[in-house]
Amino acid sequence: MSIIELGEVRDEPASAPPVRAPRAAGRPMRGAAVLLLTLVLLAGATPLPRRTVSMVPASAASSAFLAEDGVFVFDPPAPDKDRYLTAYAHPAPNGAGMRRRWQAPLPHPDGYLGVRVEQGLVLAVGAEPGNGVLETTAFDAETGQQRWRHPGTPVPIAGGGLLLTDVPQSGVDGMSRVEPDTGRVLWSVPLLSPTGPGLHLTDGRIDMFVLVQPTGEVQVHDAVTGRLLRSLDTLPGGRKAVQQVQVVDDLLLLLPAEDAPVVAYGLTDLKPRWTAMMSQVSYVASCADLLCVSHQRGSLWVLDPATGAVRWSDSGEDLLIDVRGDRLLMSGSGQRFAVRDAATGRRWTELGEWDLVPVLRPTDPLVGLRRGEDGRMVVAELDLAAGRARVLDMLPDVAGSCQASLPLLLCQRLDGTATLWRLAR
């Protein structure tokens, strides 16, 4: 069932005192006609915003996930009862209800973490019974027919195909490329380090991956063929250490677990570029034309990627949450968000207190939620470029657990059921 609702409140304005209008001059009928004409013109110029509300036809104990082409629902686990994955198409903007496309039996009763649609497949990631090892089950996106099951989690490869990977702590001892249609394993590479691979992406798809072994050997592989392209010994003398590897643009970064410097190498030649004395690094991200290095306890260093020189730093507890262009989204205490300039670190604007909603794609607009004074859920687009939180709607009876890809918003209601909103923007 779908319902088209008129938007209730589009902003949270402060109330202003009434202003007494001056007494109108002229004949009353002429004034009334002018007023009526003005109202008609205003109504035509600024129509009331509308939202479409679609109830997900599933029980309150089910798990619903938003995807690019629909909503997918996992039945709740129950003793001695089969579980199913049900696919629903996104409702049309005119308010048509959610149409069930197919339903497929799930191969095991344990927890499922989510789905993604890729290369004509619906990829459901869950845990194998008994050992908790993550695995991927592939269903045909059109019919729901199960194609294959393999250990690991999926990521798309440049040129087509899927790479299944996980760390050995989860029981997966390698990285494999599988053929999407058949699930046939095309090649496999052992994964010995507990820190996982570094991934190089081109247009959102992996073309190279990097492994670092406990012996210090760094290996760069082609993601299409699995072939070893180049390697380097970073711990000569037979030493061993746990090192994390990250790939940012054309840099390969080694992040040691101990109090040791960060070392940057060129990805294409593995030649040392620079060394930076920074300890307890959590992760490194590309920030416009710079590198953002996040400390495990919240400090932030912003480096020149060519030299490793520190452009600016902040020893506070604010966490880097996202990067959009030359703007950084920072989160402080109480989930208060602020926007900073990547080049200078200048605090550009405050966005207020929000709960950030998971989005489908890295390019999707950022969405924040917060509870209004009347109990309704305030939904806002966090626009870093404009430096403002633009309120989109205020929704009743929303508990949370939302996912977004604007204008679509999937949330759990207070009664546990799931609802899909198509918001007016």
Q: Does residue 306 surpass a pLDDT of 50?
A: yes
What pTM was computed for the model? 0.83
Count: domains in the chain: 1
C-alpha to C-alpha distances, 256 to 163, 212, 267, 304, nearest whole angstrom? 26, 11, 18, 20
23 φ, ψ to 5°?
-65, 130
pLDDT grade for 40, boundaries at 50, 70 and 90: very low
Which structural domain, as residue segments, surrounds residue 124? 1-7+62-151
pLDDT in tens, 151-189: 889 999 988 889 998 754 444 467 899 999 999 999 999
Tell me the CATH number at 78.
2.40.10.480
Residues 6+ apart with CB under 8 A from 227: 221
According to DSSP, the residues that pair with 141 across neighbouring strands are none
Note whether residue 160 is domain-resident.
no
Share of the chain above pLDDT 90, in %: 60
Q: Does residue 383 surpass a pLDDT of 90?
A: yes
Give the pLDDT mean for 42-51: 50
pLDDT in tens, 61-107: 999 999 988 999 999 988 778 899 999 999 877 666 789 999 999 98
pLDDT of the residue at 270: 96
pLDDT grade for 220, boundaries at 50, 70 and 90: very high
Q: Look up tokens 């496999």; give the residue.
A: 188
Note whether residue 216 is domain-resident.
no
Note whether residue 90 is domain-resident.
yes
Q: Look up tokens 């095991």; give the residue.
A: 108
Give the pLDDT mean for 37-48: 39
Note whether residue 136 is domain-resident.
yes
pLDDT in tens, 253-277: 998 776 778 899 999 999 999 999 8
**134 with 126: CB under 8 angstroms?**
yes
Residues 6+ apart with CB under 8 A from 399: 411, 412, 413, 414, 416
Note whether residue 268 is domain-resident.
no
Note whether residue 123 is domain-resident.
yes
**261 with 278: CB under 8 angstroms?**
yes
Note whether residue 178 is domain-resident.
no
Note whether residue 88 is domain-resident.
yes
C-alpha to C-alpha distances, 178 to 138, 143, 188, nearest whole angstrom? 11, 21, 9
